[in-house]
């Protein structure tokens, strides 16, 4: 009952979204389709397989316990990097507008990266110390 209602409401919302796009015309539809499909492809064909390969490599290098620490650090580091990629990449901003994108983002990112590595090393060595006791 609840599921049926949710399903109908969802389909109605999708229908409304498509209706809003109805007048855009071929050129815009093409661009919208490219960006809609492009995001899926970028994730499914590039980002996700890359993470799988890194996982396989990590399994060869690190023992299971250390791997948990590395994985936690990697999740935080990688997902945050993607979340702020808009300021890290050389895109956007305006040469005539110094009040936009006016922080040292790459430096901040390097410091953040160093923090994550330090935290992972500390966590891993604590884990080892506990194992010895």
Residues of span 42-81 touching another protein by CB under 8 A: 42-44, 47-48, 51-52, 55, 58-59, 64, 67-68, 71-73, 75-76, 78-80
Distance between CA atoms of 39 and 37, rounded to whole angstroms? 6
CB of 39 or CB of 125, closer to another protein: 39
Distance between CA atoms of 103 and 31, rounded to whole angstroms? 31
* CB contact at 8 A, 32 and 21: yes
Q: Which of 61, 102, 130, 133 binds another protein (CB under 8 A)?
A: 102
125 binds another protein (CB under 8 A): no
12 binds another protein (CB under 8 A): yes
Q: Among 60, 58, 85, which Cα is nearest to 69's?
A: 58
C-alpha distances in angstroms, 38 versus 33, 65, 92, 124?
A: 8, 37, 19, 38
Q: Which of 60, 61, 99, 129 binds another protein (CB under 8 A)?
A: 99
16 binds another protein (CB under 8 A): yes
84 binds another protein (CB under 8 A): yes
83 binds another protein (CB under 8 A): yes
């Amino acid at each position: 009952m609840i599921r049926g209602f949710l399903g109908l409401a969802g389909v109605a919302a999708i229908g409304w979204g498509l209706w809003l796009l109805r007048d855009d015309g071929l050129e815009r539809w093409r661009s919208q389709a490219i960006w809609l499909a492009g995001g899926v492809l970028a994730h499914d064909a590039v980002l996700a397989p890359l993470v799988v390969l890194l996982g396989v490599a990590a399994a060869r290098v690190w023992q299971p316990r250390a791997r948990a620490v590395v994985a936690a650090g990697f999740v935080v580091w990688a997902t945050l990097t993607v979340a702020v990629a808009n300021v890290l990449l050389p895109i956007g901003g305006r040469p005539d507008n110094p009040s936009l994108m006016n922080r040292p983002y790459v430096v901040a990112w390097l410091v953040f990266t160093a923090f994550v590595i330090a935290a992972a090393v500390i966590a891993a060595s604590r884990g080892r110390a506990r194992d010895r006791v």
